[in-house]
Amino acid sequence: MGAGHDHHAQVMHAGARHRGRLWAALAVLAGLMVAETVTALVSGSLALLSDAGHMFTDVLGIAMALAAISAARRGSHDPQRTFGLYRLEVLAALANAVLLSGVACYVLIEAVRRFSDPPTVLTGPMLAVAVAGVVANLIAFALLRSGARESINMRGAYLEVLADLLGSIGVIVAAVLISVTGWWWVDPLAAVAIGVFILPRTWRLGRSALRILVQAAPRHLPVAAVSDRLRAVPGVCGIHDLHVWTLTSGMEVVSAHLTVAREVELAAVLAAARAALHDDFQIEHATLQVEPRSMPGTCQQLRW
């Protein structure tokens, strides 16, 4: 697994080079999130509160990227953590999905209530903070743009910030319309739009995290296709105990036992199998056990 370890180390080192930019983006967005939350409570704007909830995903997403970088560096020093601390990123993603689902559901329920009992909304503070939100997202966008090309964690944070621009723009539109026309229902309507926008993305995030935690095979890696490709390696007579899973985002892992003819060169079969997984499925992390056919003492297939 040396090549795979080197590959993932390169990804983490790429993120580490941009740690300062991540911290800067985190500070900008966290400050804005607090400002939006306080202003939403003061002004009575549900749309602004909904956008603050979405801003929370940006803050947590960047914090996850920073945690993954730090965990990758520290986890390898503990001999008892043979897989490092990569799963912390996945656990944080699941927590993110649960919290955001709660926020989005609260916003939707509150929006329905407000349609029948509309409160007074102070559009001045609402508009000012929403404009600040656009500016903050543009700053974070610029900070993360270069790193998004090198690290999957940076790319996730970058896309979160890009998506959040829509929420801030929606709040601006709502504030202007309420101020000009007095259409109070625009605020809960904008909140519903932002909540509807957040929920599907949140559920997808939660499903992806759970899929990793239960060690299911990635959707883009059909186990049958991996099995067929390994069987096609010259010298391989059979395959068993095949497992395909994701350790953390962008890090797929395969383990398998390959049965080979007694007369073949084991090192050549192993090299060909690794090359097949790399070339056809971009799998860098593979643990393969090669077993000569009919050799006494070969393992029996486990029933999981």
pLDDT at 280: 94
pTM of model > 0.85: no
The residue behind tokens 């996730």 is 156
pLDDT the model gives residue 145: 74
pLDDT of residue 205: 77
Q: Which two tokens stand for residue 7?
A: 């590959």
Domain spans of the chain, in order of start: 2-213, 223-292
**C-alpha 33 chain-centroid distance:** 20
pLDDT at residue number 227: 95
Q: What is the predicted pLDDT for the residue at 7?
A: 45
* pLDDT value at residue 196: 80
**54, 61, 49: which is closest to 129 by C-alpha?**
49
Residues 13, 295: contact at Cβ < 8 Å? no
Exposed/middle/buried for 295, CB within 10 Å: 0-12, 13-18, 19+? exposed
Q: What are phi and psi of 285, to 5 degrees?
A: -110, 105
pLDDT attached to residue 294: 65
CA–CA separation, 251 and 4 (whole Å): 9
Q: What is residue 154's predicted lDDT score, i.e. its pLDDT? A: 59
Q: Do domains 2-213 and 223-292 have the same CATH topology?
A: no
Enumerate residue ranges in the chain where pLDDT < 50.
1-15
**Domain 2-213: CATH class, spelled out:** mainly alpha
Predicted local distance difference test score (pLDDT) of residue 84: 66
CA distance 247 to 287: 14
Choose among 171, 161, 160, 162: nearest CA to 193. Answer: 171
The CATH number for 223-292, chosen from 3.30.70.1350, 3.40.50.2000, 3.40.50.720, 3.20.20.150, is 3.30.70.1350
- Of 286, 202, 250, residue with least CA distance to 89: 250
d(CA 1, CA 274): 10
User: How far is Cα 271 from Cα 177, in angstroms, rounded to an integer?
Assistant: 65
Supply the DSSP string of 187-250, one letter for each residue: HHHHHHHHHHHHHHHHHHHHHHHHHHHTTPPPTTS-HHHHHHHHHTSTTEEEEEEEEEEEEETT
Distance between CA atoms of residues 228 and 117, nearest Å: 62
Give me the pLDDT at residue 272, please: 94
Burial of 176 (0-12, 13-18, 19+ CB in 10 A): middle
> Residue 119: which of 48, 36, 199 has the closest Cα?
48
First to last CA, the chain: 24
* DSSP notation for 16-42: HHTHHHHHHHHHHHHHHHHHHHHHHHH
Tokens, residue 238: 């059979």
The Cα–Cα gap between 294 and 246 comes to 33
Helices and strands: H and E segment counts in the chain: 9, 3
Q: For residue 257, what is the DSSP state? A: E
Q: Which pLDDT score, from 0 to 100, does residue 231 have?
A: 94
Model pLDDT for residues 139-148, shown as the tens digit of each residue = 887 887 766 5
Q: How far apart are CA 101 and CA 202, in angstroms?
A: 7
